[in-house]
Amino acid sequence: MSGHPGGPATAAPGTRTRPSRRLVRTVTVVASCLAVLAAAVVVGVRALGQEPTVTLLANWTGDDEKDFREAVLEPFERKYHIRVDYQGSNAESQVLGADVEAGTPPDVVVLTGPGELADYARQKHLLPLEDLVDPKDFGTSWAMPLADGHVYWFPLKADLKSIVWYPAGVGEEQRAQAARQPAEWCVGMGSGATSGWPGTDWIEDILLQRYGPKVYGDWARGRLPWRSQQVKAAWTAWRGLVGAGGDPALVRRALKTPYDAASQPVTARPRGCTLEHQASFIRGQRAWQQADGRYAPSAQLLAGTAANQAWEVSGDLVALLHATPAAEKLIRHLASADAQRAWSAKESGFSVHTDVRPAPGDAGPDWRRSLARTLRDARETHCFDASDAMPPAVRDAFAEATIEFLAHPDHLDTLLRSLDTLSGTQGLTWLPSVCDGAPDQPSGLSPAPMPG
């Protein structure tokens, strides 16, 4: 307030009146009392349950959590006067499993695994979303109906995986030469409770590029044995690319390095590695920013592949566990073009919402616009990350097997036999499809038998 209620005090031009010390003290005391009173009112309202709250579990921490809060959650809280109790965890699958077991799951969850979500849907822990979200806004490959006809998730963000990053200035011939030298690949297998998943991405992508989406889809849906010629060939091709069974120093580096630190040698002098087979989100790492990272389709650099047959993709998928009014409002908000556009603008990922497209003359970097176009191009074949699409027990065993294989390549037959046995377990939940335009046989909420 700029003046006294009765009008401004008279002062000579160019001078300022100085409030009395008593007035300053009085104003300070009143302001402090009002602040305490306001805080008490907020606490009282929450205690009485008059301020709705929705609980949300996701995997974003650090800068990603900050961006998510600022771009998506805070606008929601201001608009609807609903508080979001957010929990970010790098071990969200384990956290969610423990919460569900204890009977205290969050209202809304964001998971990377449709296979895990399909299992929760089979157990009746998830609620259908058709009345809250239009699946056509994302397409059936992203908001997939299961065998019961219901859609239980949609993507908040997406990433492209069938790509290889390299520093600006490294030409096509240099990249081809580097791809044949295991020491030139930046590899990090560490990721806390989910260590090993970078290895699954390699094997999945090699299989997809060599044998196409049909073979890939059969395997990801539990209908092609792990000991099949195609799957085994993908494992052995990865062994050759990264030097497993060759240079022990390379293997130790890969096993000891966290996935998000694998690219650091790119900026060393001399350069410690040149190529990284990793999803689009890795471009946000400081090393690739400093190296002005560019990407090439993985089919150009993975030995033995033909022209790019399909793109492996991943997504952060939103699902509903409690249909409270506050949770339903949050679901609608997260599925809205505005929220998805705001999150995508933070460059933490890409939206595949049909109404979120780069504006004409978008000033974003060429690599980002190119990735966005590929993710949204209906003419391209997109196949969801196979391990994420598998039942959680198979996914986790696959990740662990890649670590064991790097250290002991001669254990491959034993590892594949164990994965076949596990995949044949009765009662596992397999998805009906993992690739665009490949509906296959519906099996989303029922076990899919392994071929004999």
pLDDT tens for 245-268 read 988 999 999 999 999 999 999 999
Q: For residue 270, say if its preceding peptide bond is cis, omega within 30 degrees of 0.
A: yes
**Architecture of the CATH domain 53-159+313-357+364-377:** 3-Layer(aba) Sandwich (3.40)
Question: What rounded mean pLDDT belongs to the chain?
Answer: 85
- Cα gap 175→165, rounded to integer Å: 10
Strands (E), 147-213: 154-160, 163-166
- Cα gap 351→342, rounded to integer Å: 10
For 105-114, write each residue's pLDDT tens digit. Answer: 999 999 999 9
| Residue with token string 């996935």 | 259
For 321-370, write each residue's pLDDT tens digit. Answer: 999 999 999 999 999 999 999 988 877 779 999 998 765 555 567 888 89
Strand partners of residue 314: 159
Burial class (CB in 10 A: 0-12, 13-18, 19+), 179: buried
- Cα gap 68→74, rounded to integer Å: 9
Instruction: State the pairing for strand pair 108-111/53-58.
Output: parallel
Q: How far is CA 87 from CA 82, 127, 261, 337, 426, in A?
A: 16, 21, 24, 24, 34
Using DSSP, state whether 296 is helix, strand or coil: strand
Strand partners of residue 158: 315, 350
Strands (E), 104-198: 108-111, 154-160, 163-166
For 402-425, write each residue's pLDDT tens digit. Answer: 999 999 999 999 999 999 999 999
For 419-444, write each residue's pLDDT tens digit. Answer: 999 999 999 999 999 998 644 433 33
**Is 90 exceeded by the pLDDT of residue 392?**
yes
pTM for this entry: 0.84
Alpha-helical runs (H) found in 180-324: 197-220, 229-242, 248-256, 286-290
CATH 3.40.190.10 region(s) of the chain?
53-159+313-357+364-377, 163-309+392-423
- Residue 257's nearest CA partner among 296, 234, 287 is 287
**Is 80 exceeded by the pLDDT of residue 104?**
yes
Q: Which amino acid is at 165?
A: W
Q: What is the arithmetic mean of pLDDT over 150-172? A: 96
- For domain 163-309+392-423, the question of CATH label 3.40.190.10 is answered with yes
